[in-house]
A = this chain, B = another copy of it.
Amino acid sequence: MTYHAPIKDMMFVMTRLAGLDDIAGLPGCEDATRETAQAVLEEGAKFCGHALAPLNAAGDRHPAAYTNGDVTVSPGFEQAFRQFVEGGWQGLIHPSEFGGQALPKLLATPWLEMMKAANLSFGTCPSLTDGAIEAILLAGSEEQKRRYLPKLIAGEWTGTMNLTEPQAGSDLAMLRARAEPQDDGTYRVFGTKIFITWGEHRMTKNIVHLVLARLPDAPAGVKGISLFIVPKFFVNEDGSPGPRNDVRCLSIEHKLGLKASPTAVLQFGDNGGATGYLIGEANRGLEYMFVMMNAARFSVGVQGIGIAERAYQKAAAYAKERVQGRAVDGSSDAAVPIIRHPDVKRMLATMRSLTESARALSYVAASHSDLAHRHPDAAVSAQHRGIYEYLVPIVKGWSTELAVEVASLGVQVHGGMGFIEETGAAQYYRDARILPIYEGTTAIQANDLIGRKTVRDDGAVAYGLLAGIDRTLGELEAHAGYGKNPAFAALRVHLAAGRASMAKVIEFMLVHFRSDPNAAFAGGVPYLKLAGIVLGGWQMARALLAVSDQEADDPAFHRAKAAMAHFYATHILPRAAALEAAILGASGAEGVLALPDESF
């Protein structure tokens, strides 16, 4: 197999860091036991390792192809999708009343990670369907839910999200697609949408497009956008697909990566108007999208973790196999596998510790989401919602930025072979590059982090997380391992320094957000990265504490975990101070913003 799902680390994070047992105690989550989790992950790992992973390179070499409005998918994708449907994977987290399994997000997240790792191009399709399901659950009528949800949740149909237009990317205020009300209560939808992931294919009998468009009397800007269901085929009363709707695929993009995931240009209404059905209330489309967006953004963050893990596994395997050069310490006269060279080990440790830290942070975030949704105490639920929402832009932004770094290191570990496409390392480097862009660039995530997530509550959630770090710092010092294993002191020092940097930056944002917005926003992406590094380091410290309490269980695993925590402390956490320096003081913004546009 070219990909082995890291079930052991997944289970460790779920049980020791993300509180799976607590989640299983929530109403409706009784099934989320350790045994169920282990079983689901093992089943998922089989499907991902055997069915999805082998198609990944072939999909890159034989991208989805466009002919006359139709899209042909990459070799094997149709069959793999059938297996995916038969396995019930689309329904994992969705409500049982529509056929789903209603498992908590904490349990679905490792599954998501392994699907993305095994085949990112394949994995984008179910994620878009998830988005459509959530939108309909959130704002659809009972009739709409009845008509669409069972098919979508079963995986019989797929879903898409139609936001972007050529002139409206990150700026949806500029959206022009329009919807004209008809006497029968439906709408005629007109417009061109671009960058529509899995916007056309024949793997399923129907595609449910969710489309943002403006009503004739809508206010300008983002408050005049409504959300419509536009199915590719009309749906008969018995649920079977009827005639074709007025939407067609004009072309698919020729992309750097993710080539088996067709990115479509969709044209709505060239023949009199595509029939659409309003979801929820008029002019509230963007609001619904924003609710869904948190889930979609979280999911893209997990894509970053998946591809980072895949790139790491490939590089580690190569480094153990490729023999080249003598050991620098003279410990061997013969040539050695390159993993024996300190810099190769440094690269692998960078890849792995970044990936493990991001995995831990995202699963912890998933757990907060479950607590927010299911905890019976409204105050507790609200507290967890606040934490989850703070973490979403970080999970999205930082996990994807680090995925690009990790995939690039993966190429480097392979040396010249890394640049040869047949080796496969280059595909991860190409595929990963979209992740910090789609579902909102890292800067868009950072704007969200500063404005809605840090300043709006006067830093309450952010400071709450720092208090959590303080407790962990105390536990490190109080632990019996402190003074014995140098990882404890390293984490104590560097996590405390990172925490101090993060505190200063939060204060900077609170002070400058209104008085000097340019300075605040110039520091947005560095703040997001800093938060990702420090909160990831916090999870590494918690992992160190957890393994140190049960060393006897699985010494090799625990030793590796402690070594990664130690490495992260000395090699990754110190970046926080550099980011702090870039943000703080007016100088940062002056340096960026002093220069007039025409000087560039």
Which residues in chain A, 571-592, are within 8 Å of chain B measured between CB atoms?
571, 574-575, 577-578, 580-582, 585, 587-592
The size bracket of the interface on A is 35 or more
In this assembly, does A505 line the interface, its C-beta being within 8 Å of a C-beta of chain B?
A: no
- In the bound complex, CA of A6 to CA of B55 (Å): 45
In this assembly, does A171 line the interface, its C-beta being within 8 Å of a C-beta of chain B?
A: yes
Partner of A171, one of B324, B588, B592: B324
The secondary-structure label for the interface of chain A is: helix
Partner of A254, one of B411, B421, B436, B442: B421
Which residues in chain A, 340-385, are within 8 Å of chain B measured between CB atoms?
340-346, 348-349, 352
Whether B169 lies near A419 (C-beta < 8 A) is no
Among the 9-residue stretches A113-121, A176-184, A291-299, A515-523, the one with 4 or more Cβ atoms under 8 Å from chain B is A515-523
Among the 9-residue stretches A35-43, A70-78, A226-234, A427-435, the one with 4 or more Cβ atoms under 8 Å from chain B is A427-435
Minimal beta-carbon separation of A320 from chain B (angstroms):
6
Partner of A339, one of B337, B575, B600: B600
Whether A195 lies near B346 (C-beta < 8 A) is no
In this assembly, does A404 line the interface, its C-beta being within 8 Å of a C-beta of chain B?
A: yes
Whether A429 lies near B420 (C-beta < 8 A) is no
- In the bound complex, CA of A520 to CA of B420 (Å): 31
Among the 9-residue stretches A91-99, A126-134, A201-209, A561-569, the one with 4 or more Cβ atoms under 8 Å from chain B is A561-569
- In the bound complex, CA of A418 to CA of B569 (Å): 34
B residues less than 8 Å from A566 (CB atoms): 587, 590-591, 594
**Nearest chain-B residue to A588 (Cβ)?**
B570
- In the bound complex, CA of A83 to CA of B564 (Å): 55
B residues less than 8 Å from A487 (CB atoms): 591
In this assembly, does A164 line the interface, its C-beta being within 8 Å of a C-beta of chain B?
A: yes
**Nearest chain-B residue to A591 (Cβ)?**
B567
- In the bound complex, CA of A508 to CA of B600 (Å): 40
Whether A574 lies near B567 (C-beta < 8 A) is no
- A169 and B591 in contact (CB under 8 A), knowing A255-B421, A342-B522? no
Partner of A412, one of B254, B429, B436, B590: B436
Which residues in chain A, 174-213, are within 8 Å of chain B measured between CB atoms?
174, 195
- A174 and B345 in contact (CB under 8 A), knowing A415-B169, A494-B581, A575-B578? no
Minimal beta-carbon separation of A543 from chain B (angstroms):
14
- In the bound complex, CA of A592 to CA of B422 (Å): 30
In this assembly, does A552 line the interface, its C-beta being within 8 Å of a C-beta of chain B?
A: no
B residues less than 8 Å from A592 (CB atoms): 342, 345-346, 349, 567, 571
Protomer copies: 2
Partner of A582, one of B169, B173, B521, B574: B574
Whether A324 lies near B255 (C-beta < 8 A) is no
B residues less than 8 Å from A418 (CB atoms): 256, 433, 437
- A255 and B443 in contact (CB under 8 A), knowing A342-B589, A577-B578? no
Whether A256 lies near B436 (C-beta < 8 A) is no
In this assembly, does A316 line the interface, its C-beta being within 8 Å of a C-beta of chain B?
A: yes
In this assembly, does A14 line the interface, its C-beta being within 8 Å of a C-beta of chain B?
A: no
In this assembly, does A329 line the interface, its C-beta being within 8 Å of a C-beta of chain B?
A: yes
- A600 and B348 in contact (CB under 8 A), knowing A342-B593, A343-B524, A589-B342? yes
Whether B429 lies near A328 (C-beta < 8 A) is no
B residues less than 8 Å from A570 (CB atoms): 581-582, 585, 587-588, 591
In this assembly, does A69 line the interface, its C-beta being within 8 Å of a C-beta of chain B?
A: no
Partner of A169, one of B352, B416, B426, B564: B416
In this assembly, does A245 line the interface, its C-beta being within 8 Å of a C-beta of chain B?
A: no
Whether A256 lies near B430 (C-beta < 8 A) is yes
- In the bound complex, CA of A430 to CA of B425 (Å): 12
14 other A-B residue contacts (CB within 8 Å) besides A408-B408, A408-B433, A429-B433: A169-B415, A169-B416, A171-B325, A255-B419, A256-B411, A316-B600, A343-B525, A345-B595, A418-B433, A567-B592, A569-B591, A571-B582, A571-B591, A575-B578
The 6 closest A-B pairs by CB, nearest first: A567-B591, A574-B581, A342-B522, A343-B443, A574-B578, A256-B426
Could you name 20 residue pairs across A and B whose Cβ atoms are closer than 8 Å?
A169-B416, A255-B419, A256-B419, A256-B426, A257-B419, A258-B419, A320-B600, A328-B517, A337-B597, A339-B600, A342-B518, A343-B443, A408-B433, A415-B437, A559-B599, A563-B595, A570-B585, A571-B581, A575-B575, A578-B578
